[in-house]
Each structure stands twice: as structure tokens, then as C-alpha cells.
Structure 1
Amino acid sequence: MTAIVCVDKNWAIGRENRLLFRISADLKHFRALTTGKTVVMGKNTLLSLPGAKPLPDRRNLVVSTTMAPREGVEIARSIEEAAALAGEDAVLMGGAQLYRALLPRCERVLVTQVDAAAEGADAFFPNLDAAPDWTVETVGEWQEENGLRFRYVDYVRRT
């Protein structure tokens, strides 16, 4: 499994169930990397999507013990069930609790690093730079959009 995440300087990922940054280039990057794949998310992440609708052209797998069935969504009732249903090519897209629970099953993390510190963040991704079992594989060039500098950094699990 691969995780994909957008973080600020402090590895913050969200505030009040919303993304911290809206960078159109990053959204296109996300779409390109996830289209045609299984995306794994928690219920709150699904509810935070536009219209609370599943992402098009992807298999949407939601991990929730309480969510009622809904069109276009498969529901896993546990982390173990999600991991079994997801398969190796799945992309984990959050939220924070699910990242923490499934990160040990990930072999790669695709990070969008934003060169800013978001105020009021209440959801965080584990700091991979401080984690001994992760190493940087590639670092992209800094880009800028709407005054925000960002780059793509790919991490792989150390073997």
C-alpha cells in the first residue's frame, strides 16, 4: 500500500476535517496518482470530499464501523478488513487516525511538502524525517502557486 498526503512544515494535514491548503497542481497530481486505483479513507475523509461523494474513476474503500452503505463506496468494518480488501496497489488518503493505523502496512509515502506552517491545525501525519524506518527516495523541485511553495517528496520504507 502507498500513502499520499499533503503536509505543512510541522507535518500538519488538517483543521476541522478540512485540508490546510488548496493547491490545484497538487490536486491534479493526486488525481493522476490515484485514478484507476483503490483509494482507502476514513469516513470523515469521505464526508469532507466535495458533496461527500466518492472520488470518480477510483474504487473507494471507506473504513468505518458506523457508516451506512452508500452508492459508489465499499465499507471495511476494521483495519484488518481494509488491508485485506485494499490490495498492494491501493492508495491510503487519510485521515489522521487511518494514516496512523495503516502506515505500518505501507511501503511508500508520497508527500506534498508545503513550505508554510498552518495555524490551528488539529490533525497531523507522523514525521517521516524523524522515523528510522523511512528514507527519502526522491525530492522534487520547489514549485509555487498562489504564494505557496511546495514540492513532492517520496519516502520508502527501509528494508
Structure 2
Amino acid sequence: MIHKNISIIVAIAENFAIGKNNDLLFHLPNDLKRFKEITSGHSLIMGRNTLLSLPKWPLPNRRHIVITDKEDDVFPGCEVVFSIEEAIEKVTNEKEAFIIGGGMVYRQFYPVAGKLYLTLVHKPFDADVYFPEIDYLEWKETSREDFFDEKNDFNYSYLNLERKDI
């Protein structure tokens, strides 16, 4: 079942790479600003490693829901759940909630998410975590902005996509 209020926000390389050694593959300050603007005031759903990789948490003005399989996990300022179903239940009445990683969480939510907010870097990267391959035929592009990052010497795009079958 597709959940219209579940959105995925992710920065991916053209080969669907998203991370290596529990860190991001590239540093795009404007993308971090975009992330803050889009997610501010909303719930964030993430795995425990994603939470622990944040420089400081909880992020201001956002509810944090952490999916873990460790019964004794406690993260001050965050809510802990043990399944994606439990996470979805916590945000049922919200207009929009954001899945922010990591790889396993993205794979579990990809089939049920109604929207994708992609930062697509037009270059492949070596990684140990990948986003599920996107079938663009299942999605409708609602907006796109293209950029060139001189510091990193690559092009990237912001793509907002909505699932066609909802």
C-alpha cells in the first residue's frame, strides 16, 4: 500500500550510491540547506546508524523516529520503534513525514513512499550503501533544478517526484 504522506529525501550518485563507511559521499552545503527547509516542522524516520551519524541530534524543529532492532536503545529527544509498520503508525495523521536513511530503511520504505525528493549527483561514486534502483516510469517529475558545483566539479539536480499510481 502506498502512503501519500510518506516521502523519501535522499542524495544519490548516478549509480544509486548513497554512503560509505557510515558517511555521506559528497558535501553539498546547498543540499543541506534544502534538506533543512523541506524537513523542518515534520517527522523524520531513520535507522539508528543514520541518527548516530548526524553531527548533532535531535535536529531542531523536527520529530525524530528511530527504527532499531536493539531493545535497549534509548536516544534522548527521539522516539524508538522496532518496525516500519510502527513508524508509519506514528505518522498516520501527519501531512508529510520524511524517510532520511540509511540504506536498509530506504529499501523498506521505497515500495510504500508516495514522494521522492532527490538530489541526484551526475557522477558515479564508490560506496558500500546504495539506494534502491529507481524505475522512473513509476514516478512523475513535479519539479527539477540543475546545478554545477565548482568545488566538487560535478553537476547535480534536485528532482521532486510523485508516484504515478496514487
- Using the size of structure 2 for normalisation, the TM-score is 0.87
Query: How far is the alpha carbon of 1:17 from its aligned partner?
Result: 1.0
Query: How far is the alpha carbon of 1:145 from its aligned partner?
Result: 4.4
- What whole-Å deviation, never above 9, does each CA across 1:38-79 have from its counterpart, x for those lacking one? 00000010011104x221210011011215222110011111
Q: Answer yes or no: is 1:93 the counterpart of 2:97.
A: no
Distance between the aligned counterparts of 2:133 and 2:111, measured in 1? 14
Q: Answer yes or no: is 1:152 the counterpart of 2:158.
A: yes
2:139 corresponds in structure 1 to: 134
Name the SS for the 2:146 alignment partner: coil
Cα contact 2:146–2:155 (8 A) shared by 1: no
Show structure 1 runs of 5+ residues with no match. none
Query: How far is the alpha carbon of 1:104 from its aligned partner?
Result: 2.0
Q: Answer yes or no: is 1:76 the counterpart of 2:118.
A: no
Name the SS for the 2:119 alignment partner: strand
2:34 corresponds in structure 1 to: 29
Name the SS for the 2:109 alignment partner: helix
Show structure 2 runs of 5+ residues with no match. 1-5
Of 43, 48, 51 in structure 2, the residue corresponding to residue 38 of structure 1 is 43
2:62 corresponds in structure 1 to: 58
Cα contact 1:61–1:86 (8 A) shared by 2: no
> Structure 1 stretches (4+) deviating beyond 4 angstroms?
none
Cα contact 2:115–2:162 (8 A) shared by 1: yes
Distance 1:152 1:63, change over 3 A: same
2:3 corresponds in structure 1 to: none
Q: Which amino acid aligns with 2:30?
A: A
Distance between the aligned counterparts of 1:50 and 1:83, measured in 2? 26
1:112 corresponds in structure 2 to: 119
Q: Which amino acid aligns with 2:161?
A: Y
Q: Which amino acid aligns with 2:46?
A: M
1:103 corresponds in structure 2 to: 110
Q: What is the identity percentage for the equivalent residue pairs of Structure 1 and Structure 2?
A: 35
Cα contact 1:23–1:145 (8 A) shared by 2: no
Cα contact 1:133–1:157 (8 A) shared by 2: yes
